[in-house]
Amino acid sequence: NTLEKQLNKIFNDDNKFLTDFEPRINLSEDENNYYIHADLPGISKDKIKMEVDEERTLTISGERENIYKNNDDNSRKEKQENEKEQTSTTTATTTATMDGIEMEEDQKNNNNNNNDHKYSVMECSYGSFSRSFTIPEDGNIDNIQAKMENGVLEIIINKIKTQKSQTRSIQIQ
Protein backbone atom coordinates (compact mmCIF):
# COMPACT_ATOMS: atom_id res chain seq x y z
CA ASN A 1 0.00 0.00 0.00
CA THR A 2 2.88 2.36 0.75
CA LEU A 3 4.53 1.56 -2.60
CA GLU A 4 1.24 2.31 -4.35
CA LYS A 5 1.04 5.71 -2.62
CA GLN A 6 4.63 6.51 -3.60
CA LEU A 7 4.03 5.55 -7.24
CA ASN A 8 0.81 7.58 -7.36
CA LYS A 9 2.65 10.59 -5.96
CA ILE A 10 5.35 10.27 -8.63
CA PHE A 11 2.98 9.73 -11.54
CA ASN A 12 0.52 12.42 -10.48
CA ASP A 13 3.16 15.11 -10.02
CA ASP A 14 2.04 17.14 -13.08
CA ASN A 15 3.81 14.70 -15.44
CA LYS A 16 7.10 16.47 -14.83
CA PHE A 17 9.09 13.54 -16.22
CA LEU A 18 7.18 13.25 -19.49
CA THR A 19 8.85 16.20 -21.22
CA ASP A 20 11.40 16.00 -24.00
CA PHE A 21 15.08 15.98 -23.19
CA GLU A 22 16.49 19.44 -22.51
CA PRO A 23 20.21 19.56 -21.71
CA ARG A 24 21.37 21.59 -18.72
CA ILE A 25 23.69 24.43 -19.70
CA ASN A 26 26.35 26.43 -17.85
CA LEU A 27 27.60 29.70 -19.36
CA SER A 28 30.73 31.40 -18.10
CA GLU A 29 33.56 33.63 -19.23
CA ASP A 30 37.00 34.84 -18.32
CA GLU A 31 39.08 37.64 -19.80
CA ASN A 32 40.04 35.54 -22.87
CA ASN A 33 37.09 33.22 -23.60
CA TYR A 34 33.39 32.46 -23.34
CA TYR A 35 32.51 28.93 -22.20
CA ILE A 36 29.41 26.84 -22.74
CA HIS A 37 29.10 23.50 -20.94
CA ALA A 38 26.16 21.28 -21.92
CA ASP A 39 25.26 18.09 -20.04
CA LEU A 40 24.49 15.53 -22.75
CA PRO A 41 24.54 12.13 -21.00
CA GLY A 42 24.19 9.12 -23.25
CA ILE A 43 24.67 11.09 -26.48
CA SER A 44 27.68 10.47 -28.71
CA LYS A 45 29.35 13.42 -30.41
CA ASP A 46 28.23 12.26 -33.87
CA LYS A 47 24.58 12.72 -32.77
CA ILE A 48 25.15 16.42 -31.96
CA LYS A 49 24.97 19.25 -34.50
CA MET A 50 26.37 22.75 -33.91
CA GLU A 51 25.80 25.72 -36.21
CA VAL A 52 26.42 29.47 -36.14
CA ASP A 53 24.20 31.62 -38.34
CA GLU A 54 24.77 35.10 -39.79
CA GLU A 55 23.15 36.70 -36.74
CA ARG A 56 25.81 35.19 -34.45
CA THR A 57 23.41 32.62 -33.00
CA LEU A 58 25.03 29.34 -31.95
CA THR A 59 22.58 26.43 -32.04
CA ILE A 60 23.28 23.04 -30.45
CA SER A 61 20.84 20.33 -31.48
CA GLY A 62 20.55 16.56 -31.48
CA GLU A 63 18.57 13.67 -30.13
CA ARG A 64 18.86 11.54 -27.04
CA GLU A 65 17.55 8.13 -28.00
CA ASN A 66 15.99 5.64 -25.63
CA ILE A 67 18.67 3.13 -24.57
CA TYR A 68 16.57 0.19 -25.75
CA LYS A 69 16.80 1.48 -29.33
CA ASN A 70 20.59 1.56 -29.16
CA ASN A 71 21.31 -1.83 -27.56
CA ASP A 72 22.41 -4.68 -29.76
CA ASP A 73 19.92 -7.48 -30.44
CA ASN A 74 21.56 -10.04 -28.12
CA SER A 75 21.45 -7.87 -25.00
CA ARG A 76 17.91 -6.72 -25.83
CA LYS A 77 16.73 -10.33 -26.19
CA GLU A 78 18.47 -11.24 -22.93
CA LYS A 79 16.72 -8.39 -21.10
CA GLN A 80 13.36 -9.37 -22.59
CA GLU A 81 13.84 -13.00 -21.52
CA ASN A 82 14.68 -11.88 -17.97
CA GLU A 83 11.57 -9.68 -17.92
CA LYS A 84 9.39 -12.55 -19.15
CA GLU A 85 10.67 -14.76 -16.34
CA GLN A 86 10.00 -12.06 -13.75
CA THR A 87 6.59 -10.93 -15.00
CA SER A 88 5.15 -14.37 -15.73
CA THR A 89 5.33 -15.28 -12.03
CA THR A 90 3.98 -11.95 -10.78
CA THR A 91 0.33 -11.53 -9.83
CA ALA A 92 -1.32 -8.35 -8.69
CA THR A 93 -4.40 -8.17 -6.50
CA THR A 94 -6.68 -5.19 -6.86
CA THR A 95 -9.55 -4.43 -4.55
CA ALA A 96 -12.57 -2.48 -5.73
CA THR A 97 -15.74 -1.55 -3.87
CA MET A 98 -19.05 -1.52 -5.73
CA ASP A 99 -22.23 -0.83 -3.76
CA GLY A 100 -20.54 -1.85 -0.53
CA ILE A 101 -19.44 -5.26 -1.87
CA GLU A 102 -15.70 -5.85 -1.92
CA MET A 103 -14.43 -7.67 -5.00
CA GLU A 104 -10.93 -9.04 -5.55
CA GLU A 105 -9.52 -9.61 -8.99
CA ASP A 106 -6.27 -11.45 -9.69
CA GLN A 107 -4.43 -10.24 -12.76
CA LYS A 108 -1.55 -12.04 -14.36
CA ASN A 109 0.90 -9.87 -16.30
CA ASN A 110 1.28 -11.16 -19.83
CA ASN A 111 4.15 -10.21 -22.08
CA ASN A 112 2.99 -10.14 -25.70
CA ASN A 113 6.41 -10.75 -27.33
CA ASN A 114 6.55 -7.12 -28.40
CA ASN A 115 9.56 -4.85 -28.04
CA ASP A 116 7.80 -2.33 -25.79
CA HIS A 117 9.52 -1.93 -22.46
CA LYS A 118 7.18 -1.13 -19.59
CA TYR A 119 8.48 1.26 -16.96
CA SER A 120 7.35 1.61 -13.37
CA VAL A 121 9.21 4.90 -13.02
CA MET A 122 10.83 6.86 -15.84
CA GLU A 123 12.83 9.88 -14.70
CA CYS A 124 15.15 10.01 -17.72
CA SER A 125 13.90 12.01 -20.67
CA TYR A 126 14.55 11.31 -24.32
CA GLY A 127 13.91 13.03 -27.61
CA SER A 128 15.14 15.82 -29.82
CA PHE A 129 16.58 19.00 -28.37
CA SER A 130 17.79 22.37 -29.57
CA ARG A 131 19.40 25.17 -27.55
CA SER A 132 20.47 28.53 -29.02
CA PHE A 133 22.75 31.27 -27.73
CA THR A 134 23.68 34.68 -29.11
CA ILE A 135 27.44 35.11 -29.26
CA PRO A 136 28.58 38.56 -28.06
CA GLU A 137 30.20 40.93 -30.58
CA ASP A 138 33.68 40.30 -29.14
CA GLY A 139 33.32 36.51 -29.60
CA ASN A 140 35.36 35.09 -32.49
CA ILE A 141 32.84 33.00 -34.46
CA ASP A 142 35.60 31.88 -36.85
CA ASN A 143 37.49 30.04 -34.10
CA ILE A 144 35.00 28.09 -31.97
CA GLN A 145 36.37 24.96 -30.31
CA ALA A 146 34.23 22.09 -29.03
CA LYS A 147 35.04 18.81 -27.33
CA MET A 148 32.94 16.06 -25.79
CA GLU A 149 34.13 14.24 -22.68
CA ASN A 150 32.19 12.10 -20.18
CA GLY A 151 28.82 13.30 -21.49
CA VAL A 152 29.71 16.99 -21.25
CA LEU A 153 30.05 19.14 -24.36
CA GLU A 154 32.50 21.99 -23.77
CA ILE A 155 32.46 24.89 -26.21
CA ILE A 156 35.14 27.57 -26.09
CA ILE A 157 34.67 30.84 -27.95
CA ASN A 158 37.75 33.06 -28.02
CA LYS A 159 37.28 36.73 -27.32
CA ILE A 160 38.64 39.17 -29.88
CA LYS A 161 40.95 41.69 -28.30
CA THR A 162 39.55 45.12 -28.97
CA GLN A 163 41.59 48.24 -28.76
CA LYS A 164 40.64 50.11 -25.65
CA SER A 165 39.63 53.57 -26.59
CA GLN A 166 42.19 56.07 -25.54
CA THR A 167 41.26 59.63 -24.83
CA ARG A 168 42.91 61.91 -27.32
CA SER A 169 43.05 65.65 -27.20
CA ILE A 170 41.80 67.42 -30.28
CA GLN A 171 43.04 70.90 -30.90
CA ILE A 172 40.33 73.37 -31.81
CA GLN A 173 41.30 75.93 -34.44
Residue-level pLDDT at 173: 82
Q: How confident is the model at residue 132, as a pLDDT? A: 93
- The pLDDT score that the predictor gives to residue 107 is 38
> Which residues of the chain fall short of a pLDDT of 50?
14-18, 70-76, 86-114
pLDDT of amino acid 164: 67
pTM of the predicted protein model: 0.57
Q: How many CA atoms lie within 13 A of 58 on its CB side?
A: 23
Structural domains in the chain, CATH included, are 16-65+126-160 (2.60.40.790), 76-113 (no CATH)
Secondary structure string (H, E, C) spanning the chain: CHHHHHHHHHHCCCCCCCCCCCCCEEEEECCCEEEEEEECCCCCHHHEEEEECCCCEEEEEEEECCHHHHCCHHHHHHHHHHHHHHHHCCEEEEEEEECCEEEEEEEECCCCCCCCCCCCCCCCCCEEEEEEEECCCCEEEEEEEEEEECCEEEEEEEECCCCCCCCCCCCCC
| pLDDT (0 to 100) of residue 141 | 94
